[in-house]
Amino acid sequence: MTACGYFAPVYGTQSTDRASVDNGIAVNELAAIKVNPIADRMGHNVRTHLEDLLNPQSLDVTPKYTLDIKLTRTEDPFAIRPDRSAASVQMLILAEYVLKNRETGTILDKGSIKTKGSYNRLESEFGTYTAQENETLHIGQDIAEKFRLRLLSVFYDEKQRVIKQENHVSGAEIKEEKEEKEETSESAEEKTGTVSGGDYENKPYTN
């Protein structure tokens, strides 16, 4: 991942626990992600929930990143009635995404997130529709939460990379400074030894 600006300090561990992780990542970084519109009704649900999770305090933050998400939905019957009709349907969702730096267009992270759910097909069409909509809403919330955790991980990893790089540079500078001091000290000792030796050799002998 390419460095993309200032990241506030990260504290704690890489735990995915909401409280411990959220407290460690600057809320401004997550709030600065603009989630672009996602196709279809489920996409709208995912976007709405994700925006609430990324900026729960509704902070007025200038977007620094863009997140594009494409959903692919597959439905497979997994419970069959004696008349061969589906009693239950499993919904499989694949969410492919790309996170970019809004100013430079640099891709910061990309990949996919998977989730699944199921609903029952009832005798009533309205009942089936309601069950499907409820499960769609639930899956949308689940995907949004997974995205929040994934984005937290992205920013956490970047912060650790920056810290490691800074520590490496700092360590190299300390080592270089130490070597310079040792060289200066050795040079001074050599000069002192030469002068003393000269004085001793030129000193008149007395009995």
pLDDT, one tens digit for every residue, the chain (207 residues): 444 433 333 333 444 444 444 445 566 789 999 999 999 989 999 999 999 999 998 888 899 999 999 999 998 887 666 666 667 888 999 999 999 999 999 999 999 999 999 888 887 888 888 888 889 899 999 999 999 999 988 888 777 777 777 777 655 555 566 666 666 666 666 665 554 445 445 555 455
pLDDT at 19: 43
Residue 68 and residue 105 in contact, taking contact as beta carbons nearer than 8 Å: no
Residue 147 and residue 71 in contact, taking contact as beta carbons nearer than 8 Å: no
Give Cα 69 distance to the centre of its chain.
Answer: 16
Q: What is the CATH number of the domain that holds 55?
A: 3.30.160.150
Domain of 49? 18-69+93-110+137-166
Residue 130 and residue 113 in contact, taking contact as beta carbons nearer than 8 Å: no
Rounded CA separation 2/107 (Å): 8
Residue 4 and residue 33 in contact, taking contact as beta carbons nearer than 8 Å: no
| Alpha helices, DSSP H, located in 35-124 | 40-54
Report yes or no on 123 lying in a domain.
no
Report yes or no on 12 lying in a domain.
no
Report yes or no on 200 lying in a domain.
no
Residue 106 and residue 81 in contact, taking contact as beta carbons nearer than 8 Å: no
Report yes or no on 181 lying in a domain.
no
Rounded CA separation 46/69 (Å): 9
Task: Give 149-154 contacts, CB < 8 A, sequence gap 24+.
Answer: 149/16, 149/21, 150/109, 150/111, 150/113, 151/30, 151/33, 151/54, 151/67, 151/99, 152/16, 152/21, 152/22, 152/25, 152/30, 153/14, 153/16, 154/1, 154/99, 154/108, 154/109
Report yes or no on 4 lying in a domain.
no
Q: Exposed, middle or buried by CB within 10 Å (0-12, 13-18, 19+), for 186?
A: exposed
Report yes or no on 125 lying in a domain.
no
Report yes or no on 56 lying in a domain.
yes
Q: How many domains does the chain have?
A: 1
Backbone angles phi and psi of 71, in degrees to 5: -100, 135
Report yes or no on 106 lying in a domain.
yes
Report the predicted TM-score, pTM, of the whole model to 2 decimal places: 0.65
Structure tokens at 93: 């969702």
